[in-house]
């Protein structure tokens, strides 16, 4: 098609023209001030996936394809997430693959979670040294203890179970956090958010982003004020009491083709220790934890859920300049 040639050639035009035409990152005429809870040091907005690396398209890349392929099973004991089937090998029919920074320790696969940049006092006891070693040519038998696609000394994280979370010190001083989000069974939200993340009472700021902002990447982020605290606490309590389920089992309303057709909010808890927990809130009371614990979500009591959403919708709890 001739017009496609023009479209492709336009892709290569002078970078100054492309830069000049770039859409604004934030909407014009509207700026929002960050409102701190307490004496908060720089709690940087971190991307959830942190320093992630090569490769594995076998793993679900999104909640939409996180279904039976993930091997998740549901029983009275909860939702069982099978061990990660990690491989860097590129399947023949795939051009390129992708996955997390990871390494294997005591038989568990620890995935890169986020990088904490401030001077967080998180590094605990030295536990070992990840050897790296793995690449796309490594056969399956090479996936042994301490192997991974990242190398370096790793430590426990102060206040967290090393069976769940470990960390490494980056050369620039940042701390890279790793979590083990597989080969486990989760029944209630508390199994994750309390037992592992110690969320209740340990966060000092809560931010949220609307679906439009998230979808269009306009970074229109609000920070809740202190008066929102009771609503947030109720939500966290409901989150802890909610039961885990498979994301693939979330019912879709008429006319919805995927969960992305539902109303979506993103809420980020900035913890006192510098870490963040970003949750995707899906209309109907479903709470999904980013790309981790793939294919699972927590069904939260709708009253607490909707009260929080109503707060977001009203915009009353977020102060704007």
Partner 1 sequence: MDDLQIIALYWARSETAVAETARKYGPYCRSIARRILRSEEDSEECVNDTYWKAWEAMPPQRPRQLRTFLGRITRNLALSRWEKAAAEKRGGGQVPLALEELAECVPAPDSVERAVDDMALTQLLNEFLGGLPAETRRIFLRRYWYFCSVKEIAADFGISESKVKTTLFRTRNRLKQHLEKEGVML
Q: Which of 43, 50, 105, 184 binds partner 1 (CB under 8 A)?
A: 50
**Distance, CA of 13 to CA of 21 (rounded, Å):** 12
**Which CB, 115 or 240, lies closer to partner 1?**
115
- Nearest approach, Cβ of 303 to partner 1 (angstroms)? 28
Site track 175-194 with partner 1 (rule: CB under 8 A), x = hit: -x------------------
Partner residues linked to 133 by β-bridges: 148
Q: Residue 152: what are its φ and ψ, rounded to 5°?
A: 140, 165
Closest C-alpha among 93, 321, 132 to residue 223: 321
x/- mask, partner 1, residues 107-136, rule CB under 8 A, reads -----x--x---------------------
Answer for which of 58, 65, 194, 243 binds partner 1 (CB under 8 A) is 65
Q: Nearest approach, Cβ of 34 to partner 1 (angstroms)?
A: 17
CB 101 within 8 A of CB 111: yes
Nearer to partner 1, 1 or 39 (CB): 1
User: Does residue 161 interact with partner 1 by CB under 8 A?
Assistant: no
Which residue in 42, 79, 13, 45 sits closest to 268, CA to CA? 45
Reduced 3-state DSSP string for 80-131: EECCCCCCCCCCCCCCCCCCCCEEEECCEEEEEEEEECCCCCCEEEEEEEEE
Out of 53, 146, 169, 302, the only residue in the binding site for partner 1 (CB under 8 A) is 53
| Gap between the Cα atoms of 231 and 314, Å rounded | 13
**Does residue 2 belong to the site contacting partner 1 (CB under 8 A)?**
yes
Q: Does 93 bind partner 1 (CB under 8 A)?
A: no
Structure token digits, residue 62? 């999104």
Token couple for 107: 């038989």
Answer for which of 34, 36, 49, 163 binds partner 1 (CB under 8 A) is 49
Residues 85, 106, 129, 217: which binds partner 1 (CB under 8 A)?
217
Choices 11-19, 119-127, 138-146, 297-305; region in contact with partner 1 by CB under 8 A: 11-19
In the sheet with 73-75, reading across from the earlier edge strand, the strands are: 73-75, 78-81, 184-186
Measured from the CB atom, the residue of 46 and 236 that comes closer to partner 1 is 46
- Minimum separation from the CB atom of position 185 to partner 1 (A): 27
Question: Is there binding between residue 275 and partner 1 (CB under 8 A)?
Answer: no
* Residue that has been written with the tokens 């039961």 in this structure: 243
Task: State the number of binding residues for partner 1 (CB under 8 A).
Answer: 56
Interface with partner 1 includes 255 (CB under 8 A)? no
Contacts of 232 (CB under 8 A, 6+ apart): 206, 224, 308
Whether the CB-CB separation of 179 and 170 falls below 8 Å is answered with: no
Q: Is 42 in the site for partner 1 (CB under 8 A)?
A: no
Give the footprint of partner 1 on this chain (CB under 8 A). Answer: 1-25, 28, 45-47, 49-54, 57, 61-62, 64-65, 96, 98, 101, 112, 115, 150, 170-172, 174, 176, 215-217, 219, 260
């Amino acid at each position: 098609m001739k017009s496609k040639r023009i479209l492709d050639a336009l892709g290569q035009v002078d970078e100054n023209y492309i830069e000049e035409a770039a859409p604004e990152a934030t909407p014009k005429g509207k700026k929002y001030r960050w409102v701190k809870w307490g004496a908060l040091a720089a709690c940087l907005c971190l991307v959830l996936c942190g320093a992630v690396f090569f490769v594995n398209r076998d793993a679900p890349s999104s909640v939409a394809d996180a279904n039976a392929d993930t091997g998740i099973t549901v029983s009275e004991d909860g939702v069982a997430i099978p061990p990660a089937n990690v491989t860097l090998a590129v399947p023949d029919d795939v051009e390129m693959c992708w996955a997390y920074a990871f390494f294997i320790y005591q038989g568990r696969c620890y995935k890169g979670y986020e990088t904490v940049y401030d001077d967080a006092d998180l590094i605990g006891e030295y536990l070992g040294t990840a050897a790296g070693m793995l690449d796309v040519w490594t056969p399956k038998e090479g996936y042994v203890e301490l192997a991974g696609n990242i190398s370096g000394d790793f430590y426990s994280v102060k206040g967290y179970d090393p069976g769940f979370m470990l960390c490494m010190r980056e050369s620039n001083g940042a701390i890279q956090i790793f979590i083990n989000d597989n080969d486990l069974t989760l029944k209630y939200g508390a199994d994750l958010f309390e037992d592992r993340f110690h969320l209740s009472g340990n966060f000092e700021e809560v931010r949220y982003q609307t679906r439009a902002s998230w979808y269009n990447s306009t970074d229109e982020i609000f920070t809740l004020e202190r008066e929102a605290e009771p609503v947030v606490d109720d939500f966290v309590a409901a989150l802890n009491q909610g039961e885990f389920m498979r994301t693939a089992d979330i019912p879709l309303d008429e006319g919805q083709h995927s969960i992305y057709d539902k109303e979506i909010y993103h809420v980020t808890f900035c913890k006192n220790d510098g870490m963040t927990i970003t949750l995707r809130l899906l209309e109907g009371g479903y709470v999904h934890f980013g790309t981790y614990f793939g294919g699972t979500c927590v069904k939260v009591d709708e009253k607490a859920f909707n009260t929080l959403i109503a707060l977001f919708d009203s915009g009353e709890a977020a102060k704007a300049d």
